[in-house]
Amino acid sequence: MEKTFIMVKPDGVKRGIMGEIISKIEKKGFEIKQAKLFKPSRELIEKHYEEHKEKTFFNELMDYILSGPVMAMEVEGESAIEIMRKMIGNKDPKLASLGTIRGDFANSITKNIIHGSDSIKSAQCELNLWFN
């Protein structure tokens, strides 16, 4: 079984759609092995988004993720990374297909509801960072 890291971002928590997102994950047959709802520290978020540190949007991204609580989850299932990425949809809500989480709920590239690991390596790193 494959594990992936999924985070419902502050806008998803604030808008009260965590339950719908969790329901979609579970209805797909995935198991949520760990979950925690909390406001992450700046240090944690800086480590998580380290690859974007030199990009122009980094400070806006930091402010957004630090604006409220997030729901961090370890999700397990067959091909969890690839399937969850398809369920999440394109980061640009104008390009995200209806039926995907972003296609149904997101209205901004920055405030795009959810994060999911994009590879086995990133999933392992992100799960270690958020749950250890």
Tell me the C-alpha to C-alpha distance, in Å, between residue 81 and each of 34, 49, 66, 84. Answer: 16, 18, 25, 5
- Considering 115, 116, 123, 126, which one is annotated as catalytic? 115
Tell me how many degrees the CA angle 47-91-21 measures, rounded to the nearest 5. 85
How far is Cα 125 from Cα 123, in angstroms, rounded to an integer? Answer: 5
Is 48 annotated in the active site? no
Spell 40-69 as b/e; 16+ CB within 10 A means b.
beeebbbebbeeeeeeeeeeebbebbbeeb
* Structure tokens belonging to residue 57: 């949007």
* Structure tokens belonging to residue 112: 């795009």
Supply the residues annotated as catalytic.
115
